[in-house]
């Protein structure tokens, strides 16, 4: 998935769940209310940019893209590293993988 192909599907306040992020995602971080990536650590791109914007972030969350269903409503706590699916939001049900 590339940021440019998904920008029309990224409403303000969504949580991005992706395998990883790179510099191409940077302009979209202000739209997000949270970021979860399977790949990365404390100094990975996603973690650093999320920290700069004050956005909750979990990195190194192996299996997150397959565990969280597209269109899910989630509870993200970046301070303790928990991500919980709490329901489905129908207006997002048709989106591609990893966009919540």
Catalytic residues: 45
Burial (Cβ within 10 Å: 0-12, 13-18, ≥19) of residue 70: middle
Beta strands in 1-100 (DSSP E): 15-18, 34-37, 57-58, 72-77, 82-88
């Amino acid at each position: 998935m590339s940021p440019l192909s998904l920008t029309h599907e990224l409403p303000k306040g969504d949580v991005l769940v992706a395998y990883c992020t790179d510099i191409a995602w940077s302009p979209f971080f202000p739209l997000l209310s949270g970021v979860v990536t399977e790949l990365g650590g404390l100094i990975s791109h996603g973690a650093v940019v999320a920290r700069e914007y004050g956005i909750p972030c979990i990195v190194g969350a192996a299996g997150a893209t397959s565990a969280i269903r597209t269109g899910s409503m989630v509870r993200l706590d970046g301070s303790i590293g928990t991500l919980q699916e709490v329901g489905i939001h129908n207006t997002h049900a048709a989106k591609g993988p990893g966009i919540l």
